Structure 1
Amino acid sequence: MKVLFLTSYFVLLTSLVFCQTIKKVKVTEVEEYIKNSDHPIVLNCWATWCAPCVAEIPDFMATIKKYSDQKVELVLMSLDFASSYPNKILDLIKKRNFEATFLWLNETNADYFCPKIDPKWDGTLPSTLFVDPKTGYRQFFGRPMTDRQIELEVGRLVGLKK
């Protein structure tokens, strides 16, 4: 009985630790989330099929970790096709050990949702919005970023670098 209890306990604990969820959202929900945030957000738009997207996520995670005392939140918003939600996206997240807030944008009209994230966004992936509603800081990059560029921009986001 003890063995069964301990086995069940560890299975439950493991599933809780490794359980990732991807929230299905509309772009208006993303706008509200950003607007109502009390902390800086790095919103990275990506997809599992986009090699540059997947390649830069570890750099975002490492930089965000350095600024944990500033409460910067990394939000990875997947623009994967509906057929990939949630299983294919979750599989990649688990395989790569990605840590962030995960969203899946349930939208298909880029002419509608892109300008709501940023007026300059043409739908290119990866794209990243650095935003802090409290300070009014907002910077958008519609291209892949290097680790140094990410570090510099997060520093600006939190007001530590000019």
Structure 2
Amino acid sequence: MKKTAIVILMLCIFDAAFAQKIKKIRITQLADYIQQSKGPLIVTFWATFCTPCCKEIPYFQTQAAKDTVELLLVSLDLPDYYPTKLDNFATKQKFTAPIAWLNETNADVFCPLIDKKWSGAIPASLFVNNATGYRKFVEGQVTEGKLKLVIGDMKKEKVIKN
């Protein structure tokens, strides 16, 4: 009995130590974070109910790690999903990238702050490299092949603007 209790306690501690820490953010905080990023950054907007979102996240994680690109998963789930349901979902799906929950309800306000053409549809991804001036917004699911191409472009030397 004592051994069982110790094993359960250790499993709880182990599980808590590796649980995903999901931060609640406002759009202004996210915009500041994007603006202040030093290297290649991918911000992908998703929700637990969005099948295409959940399909692309695993290969985003793999490719971002392979290419040393920062990846931030920004959840647009409803408030009652934060944090417990969102954390449980991320753990079950084996999402390892940092997750933030966007504490905003008016897409007419937050979408244009990310990209003026964003309709609010998800998945949506923002690719930014402030060091080179690269910025690309993609609305809709990104294939593995397209992701590799966009990351390659994002990591190239300084973008020349006309």
Alignment TM-score, normalising by the size of structure 2: 0.88
Per-residue CA distance 1:38-86 (angstroms, 9 max, x = gap): 1211000000001111111111011112112xxx111000000011111
Deviations 1:85-134 (A, max 9, x none): 11121111100111111110000111100000111111010000000122
What's the offset of the Cα at 1:14?
4.2
**Contact 1:73 / 1:101 at 8 angstroms: preserved in 2?**
no
CA distance in 1, matches of 2:149, 2:134: 14
Aligned amino acid, residue 63 of structure 1 = Q
Output the CA distance in 2 between the equivalents of 1:53 and 1:73.
18
Moved beyond 6 Å, runs of 4+: none
Q: Which residue in the other structure is 1:80 paired with?
A: 77
Whole-angstrom distance in 2 between the partners of 1:85 and 1:11: 21
Distance in 2 (alpha carbons) for counterparts of 1:140 and 1:54: 18
Going from structure 1 to structure 2, the CA distance change for 1:107 and 1:73 (only over 3 Å counts) comes to same
Structure 2 Cα separation of the partners of residues 136 and 76 of structure 1? 22
Question: How far, CA to CA, are the matches of 2:44 and 2:72 in structure 1?
Answer: 6
Partners of 1:55 and 1:10 in 2: how far apart?
29
Which stretch shows the higher mean deviation, 22-31 or 81-90? 81-90
- Report the Cα offset of residue 151 of structure 1: 1.0
Residue of structure 1 equivalent to 2:13? 12
- The CA RMSD measured in Å over matched residues stands at 2.1
Question: CA offset at residue 10 of structure 1?
Answer: 6.2
* Alignment of 1:101 onto 2:102: no
AA aligned opposite 1:15 = A
Match among 114, 117, 123 for residue 117 of structure 1: 114
Quote the residue 2:133 is aligned against: 136
Where do 5+ consecutive residues of structure 2 fail to align? Answer: none
Paired amino acid for 2:73: L
Percent of counterpart pairs with the same letter? 40
Query: Could you say what secondary structure the match of 1:128 adopts?
Result: strand
SS at match of 1:49: coil
The equivalent residue for 1:44 is: 44
**2:35 matched to which residue of 1?**
35
SS of the aligned residue for 2:125 comes to: strand
Normalized against structure 1, the TM-score is what? 0.88
The offset of 1:20, in angstroms, is 0.7
Counterparts of 1:79 and 1:10 in 2: how far apart (Å)? 31
Q: 1:152 aligns with which of 149, 154, 160?
A: 149
